[in-house]
Amino acid sequence: MRDEIDYREVVEDVLLDKDLKFTKDENGNRTIFALPMTAKNVPVLRVFFDVSESGDCKLRSYLAREVSERKVPAMLKTLNQLNSDYRYITLSIDSDGDVLAAYDFTLFGTDPEALDQNIMTIFLLVCKVMDKCVKPIMKVVWLDDDDDEEED
């Protein structure tokens, strides 16, 4: 059944039907849709929706960039807590100090209505959880390192 349908086309049709703005980059049997989403805790939540022809999907968003090395221990503590609080996504920090939110899932079936509901439900849920994680992550990013310095 999975060979009968190209899930990249299904996702693109759903995004177009919902009038969501996106750009797309095709790479072999994968398509990456970049969507700027409005959010509560950040002006724009940029989400990357990577879809394979067979329905394997990855949602990704960078919630912070280039966290300083001295803030990494505090960030790891925050990410561990958020990973415990929100089990739908996985938060990590890479060697460049970028904080990544990730969620992987697989699409299946051929019913257009069910696929539409599944895609949008998962996409909006993950975006909502990512947005909720922004505040605690940014608290660490904006943490003042000079609190220990003596005042004049």
The SS3 call for residue 43 is: coil
Distance of CA 141 to the CA centre of its chain: 18
Q: Is the pLDDT of residue 152 over 90?
A: no
* Stretch (H or E) spanning 63: strand 56-64
Distance of CA 134 to the CA centre of its chain: 11
The SS3 call for residue 111 is: coil
Task: Identify any residues that bridge with 61 across adjacent strands, giving them in sequence order.
Answer: 101
Q: Is the pLDDT of residue 147 over 50?
A: no
pTM as predicted? 0.88
Domain topology for 2-143 = Yope Regulator; Chain: A, (3.30.1460)
The 90-93 sheet, strands edge to edge:
23-27, 30-37, 45-52, 56-64, 99-106, 90-93
Task: Identify any residues that bridge with 9 across adjacent strands, giving them in sequence order.
Answer: none
In the DSSP assignment, the letter for residue 151 is P
Share of the chain above pLDDT 90, in %: 88
The Cα–Cα gap between 26 and 39 comes to 27
Amino acid at 85: D
Q: Is the pLDDT of residue 1 over 70?
A: no
Q: What is the pLDDT of residue 4?
A: 82
Mean pLDDT (the chain) is: 91
Helices 112-141 and 72-85 cross at an angle (nearest 10°) of 150
Q: Is the pLDDT of residue 82 over 60?
A: yes
- Contact criterion met (CB below 8 Å) for 99 and 75: yes
